[in-house]
Amino acid sequence: MQVDYLIVGQGICGSFLSWELEKAGQSFLVLDESRPFTASKVASGIINPVTGRRIVKTWMIDELLPFARKAYQEFGSTLGIECVREMPVVDCFASAQMRLAFTERFEKDSQYLSLPKDENDFREWLNYDLGYGIIQPALLVDIRSILEKQRAALSAGNRLLEERLDYQQIQTENNNVRYKDVVAQKIIFCDGVAGYDNPFFPLLPFGLNKGEALLVEIPALPSNQIIKKGYNLVPWKDDIFWLGSTYLWEYDNDQPTEGFRRFAENWLGSTIRLPFRILEHWASVRPATLERKPFVGMHPLNNNIGILNGMGTKGCSLAPFFARQLVEYLLAGSPILAEADVGRFRKTLSR
């Protein structure tokens, strides 16, 4: 089999890259081992324009937010689904310091921030003592539906190879890349946490971290906002909400832990003034980076081998944008943003 591109991984990066290449009329094959709990599959799907205790704007959000909204609308239309919607974040202040940080930031820059007319709006459903602020517009993306629908489309088009990658089978020859009986002009790794052990991109500063989340049924809770109070409570479907997540830099494995379930259940009991039922408990490891910037582009020593990875907690906003940038680089030589270009690690990758 001969194709223009071999894509390794079908998470949010691999899905957008395959879609962009298809729009550009390029042939490709996606190689992906089916796994139930990957970072993309268990992510909340939130694109939040502000972040952290200091309530600062997320990196590049003024450009990323409108780009992501349009990209998800177009991708969803291709797949026959509606996969993105605007949804405000109700930021319940967990401490006096958090309230002060929000109000001070609001006074200096009210973009994406507002204060409610009545801080008692949610007391019928929630316990909160220090009021709340509103973050909007935020976006909520149905990642799982995107991944499922794109996988089905790839399979139907004979463009999906479901197996575990064997690095020993990859050979570069005559400006091509061969993997078993597949010959491609280039191979692009969108392999998430597996990228940490990728022999073609060794020593990149990955900063893998583990997250856990619950799916919780809360029938009477309104589902037209994201609730934030330490954890995020995110509308999932029907009366089901996603609750999470943790950010553990040290962990023994990628499995759910009783400790998180206990803390999350206590949070629910103290925050939600309604009956609830825990349905599922998920865990996964995120392909974050120490710089909090992604890895995008072709290997500085081998232009047949590329990477689109390291999106971390911002995968929903970063993946559409940098998948487009990578394809524009591949087809037209357009530059990749310097802060994301993997070429910045030329010395590291030359060792």
Q: End-to-end distance of the chain based on CA atoms, in angstroms?
A: 33
So what's the pLDDT on residue 37? 75
| CATH number, domain 2-42+144-203+291-349 | 3.50.50.60
Asked, colleague to colleague, whether 2-42+144-203+291-349 and 89-136+209-286 share their fold, the answer is no
Report the distance separating Cα 265 and Cα 3, nearest Å: 49
So what's the pLDDT on residue 52? 79
Task: Sketch the domain layout of the chain as residue ranges.
Answer: 2-42+144-203+291-349, 89-136+209-286
pTM: 0.95
So what's the pLDDT on residue 246? 87
The two tokens of residue 52 are 């952290």
The two tokens of residue 122 are 């949610």
The two tokens of residue 105 are 């930031």
Task: Collect the ranges in the chain with pLDDT lower than 50.
Answer: none
Class of domain 89-136+209-286 as given by CATH: alpha beta
Unique residue bearing structure tokens 């539906």: 145
So what's the pLDDT on residue 41? 84
Q: In one letter, which amino acid is 134?
A: I
So what's the pLDDT on residue 218? 98
Do residues 283 and 256 lie in contact, with contact meaning Cβ atoms separated by under 8 Å? yes
CA atoms within 13 A on the CB side of 156: 7
